């Protein structure tokens, strides 16, 4: 996905408004017409307000860190305060602006597809806040995971959060899963866009997977699951290490 144009940067506009003190509710629109609201407040939460599994996930961070989809910078800021060398990247120019205003030292506008660093550049790749979903689809996921393998150290970890889409009894979501499968897509391959005021993002695929699906996607990429951190809900975090 290319860098967002100003009229497409709905998330960034919402982050900037939140940073300036506004109470912001954005709209997440799915391609079947389903609409949900989303507060941006959580993107600014301090470590103390994080869920226990998010806090636990930070214990697995090591060395140089790439924070993918850094948003308003909450994970980058926390790790930076603990002495880690962190680079936050996002395809939203305004999100990166907000990160810098909040004190993130290293933040760069960079779409995920453009990530391409030299070998041994990072020890940790962070994909928190459901950001494993940014891989979009299984084929793209495997391509990106192989790239991550090349640019990380031999003992590197990926710390990635997602939702198990099948842990629901909502008939609207279950119907969406069936529609996806009829189209040859994974059940949790969600096509969404974000809207805030007059701004609307491009449509993007967000891939939500079960634990078994994640293991299947990781196969033949050089990565494997070390352990899962569970919340007791559909949301979980995977600690992923190099298999070779």
Domain assignments of the chain as residue spans, ordered by start: 6-242
Give the span between the Cα atoms of 171 and 175, in whole angstroms: 6
For 6-242, CATH gives 3.40.50.150
Is it the case that residue 147 has pLDDT exceeding 60? yes
Give the span between the Cα atoms of 214 and 6, in whole angstroms: 34
Helix (H, G, I), strand (E, B) or coil at 18: helix
pLDDT, tens digit, for every residue of 59-104? 999 999 999 999 999 999 999 999 999 999 999 999 999 999 999 9
**Burial readout 60-84 (b: 16 or more C-beta within 10 A, e: otherwise):** bbebbbbbbbbbbbbbbbbbbeeeb
The token pair that represents 195 in the structure block: 């809207």
Mean pLDDT of all residues in 224-236: 93
Give the span between the Cα atoms of 103 and 132, in whole angstroms: 25
pLDDT, tens digit, for every residue of 14-65? 999 999 999 998 899 999 999 999 899 999 999 999 999 999 999 999 999 9
Single pTM value for the model: 0.95
Percent of the chain at pLDDT exceeding 70? 98
Q: Note the maximum CA span of the chain.
A: 48
How many CB atoms sit inside 10 A of residue 243's CB? 13
Which among 170, 122, 164, 165 is positioned nearest to 147, based on CA atoms?
122
Mean pLDDT of all residues in 116-139: 96
pLDDT band, very low/low/confident/very high, at 2 (cuts 50, 70, 90):
low
User: Which value, in Å, is the radius of gyration of the alpha carbons in the chain?
Assistant: 17
pLDDT band, very low/low/confident/very high, at 151 (cuts 50, 70, 90):
very high
123 touches 155 (CB < 8 A) = yes
């Amino acid at each position: 996905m290319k860098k967002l144009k100003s009229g497409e940067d709905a998330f960034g506009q919402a982050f900037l408004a939140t940073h300036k003190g506004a109470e912001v509710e954005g709209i997440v629109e799915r391609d079947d017409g389903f609409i949900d609201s989303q507060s941006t407040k959580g993107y600014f939460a301090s470590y103390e307000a994080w869920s226990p599994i998010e806090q636990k996930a930070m214990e697995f961070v090591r060395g140089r860190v790439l924070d993918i989809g850094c948003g308003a910078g909450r994970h980058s800021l926390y790790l930076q305060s603990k002495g880690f060398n962190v680079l936050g990247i996002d395809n939203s120019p305004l999100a990166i602006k907000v990160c810098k205003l909040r004190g993130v030292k290293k933040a760069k506008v960079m779409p995920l597809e453009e990530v391409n660093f030299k070998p041994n550049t990072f020890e940790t790749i962070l994909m928190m806040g459901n950001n494993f979903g940014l891989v979009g689809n299984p084929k793209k996921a495997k391509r990106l995971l192989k790239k991550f393998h090349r640019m990380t150290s031999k003992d590197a970890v990926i710390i990635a959060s997602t939702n198990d889409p099948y842990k629901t009894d909502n008939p609207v979501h279950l119907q969406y899963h069936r529609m996806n499968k009829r189209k040859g897509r994974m059940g949790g391959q969600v096509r969404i866009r974000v809207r805030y005021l007059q701004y609307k993002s491009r449509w993007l695929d967000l891939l939500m997977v079960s634990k078994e699906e994640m293991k299947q996607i990781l196969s033949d990429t050089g990565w494997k699951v070390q352990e899962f951190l569970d919340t007791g809900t559909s949301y979980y975090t995977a600690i992923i290490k190099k298999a070779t």
